[in-house]
Amino acid sequence: MESVIRADGVVVDSAGRLVAWFGNPHRETYWRSSAKPFQAVPVVLSGAAARFQMDAGDVAMVAASHSGEPRHATRVERLLQRAGLTAADLACGVHWPKHAPTAHAMRRAGLKPSPLHHNCSGKHAGMLLTAVARSVATAGYVELDHPVQQTIRDVVAHFTGVAAGRLATGVDGCGVPTFYLPLSRMAWAYARLYDGRGLPDDEAAAGQLVAEAMRTHPELVSGEGRLETRLAEATEGRIMSKGGAEGVYCGALPERGWGVAIKVDDGGTRARRSLVAAVLSLLPVLAEEARTQLATLAVEPIHNYAGRPVGEMMPIVELQWGQVR
């Protein structure tokens, strides 16, 4: 044993009951990009999705932390064009594509990245389209007091069961508000995406539409080889998932109406794939073949620079179970 990485996690059903957990199921942390399904719900509620003829792939893009591949940047640009907007309207900032082949190709061609390549550009495009659909100013759309952000706050309050006035916020890496919540509330919100009991009918329907778009288009939500895509491949699309910065991961299991939320202590990502795959493999929801694939994905080999296998990253997870199984 060389290094130890600690984490907390919880599985919650749509009634808010704890199904299983490890560590502290009520540990508080920022939701970061795992909040994106709920930041995308107002795109549907506002009528923007219908007005700008958004298909499921477009909806998935507004809930994405994409890799900046050509298919991602192009789709975001087309979304903006439908509303008479451009990349210059995005307030997310700029970084190189996370997809290394795309970044290398751009450098060879002497190209520089634009806001379209930012992993949150789809989310920001969705917020802008929502502002246009509601006939409110697009300027300042990232500020907490802007009508779009106020609507997002209300949606988050409804899905998590935390009163809007009690939602603590910070500023995310892309400039929009991010919410500070217990893991159990995050997991409950994800469970309610597929079983919206207690939610207003329009929010429940919008939540399920967003979740299904994400489940069926994981390659747009993240990208080639990323965790969301690999989990979808391993389970034949029976999981909807969304990672976030600082070691956060959330997901939904549609067949049982369960939500999952995990936080890695050190905020890193190197152990997240192994941990998430291990936890999901222990849940009595997926078929045996899928659980076997997830268990295999959970053990990550470590190679040195000569390509020689020298160790492995292996999660040690013991779930505690509640009354719901």
Chain centre to alpha carbon of residue 155: 16
pLDDT value, residue 325: 65
State residue 166's pLDDT score: 96
The pLDDT assigned to 221 comes to 97
pLDDT tens for the chain, 325 residues: list them: 999 999 999 999 999 999 999 999 999 999 999 999 999 999 999 999 999 999 999 999 999 999 999 999 999 999 999 999 999 999 999 999 999 999 999 999 999 999 999 999 999 999 999 999 999 999 999 999 999 999 999 999 999 999 999 999 999 999 999 999 999 999 999 999 999 999 999 999 999 999 999 999 999 999 999 999 999 999 999 999 999 999 999 999 999 999 999 999 999 988 999 999 999 999 998 888 999 999 999 999 999 999 999 999 999 999 999 976 6
What global pTM score does this model have? 0.96
DSSP conformation letters of 159-207: HHT--GGG-EEEE-TTSSEEEEEEHHHHHHHHHHTTS-TTS-HHHHHHH
Q: Which CATH class is domain 7-321?
A: alpha beta
* pLDDT, position 323: 76
Please count the helices (runs of H) and the strands (runs of E) in the chain.
Answer: 13, 11
- Can you tell me which residue has the tokens 């298919």? 71
Tokens for 242?
């969304």
Does residue 207 sit in helix, strand or coil?
A: helix
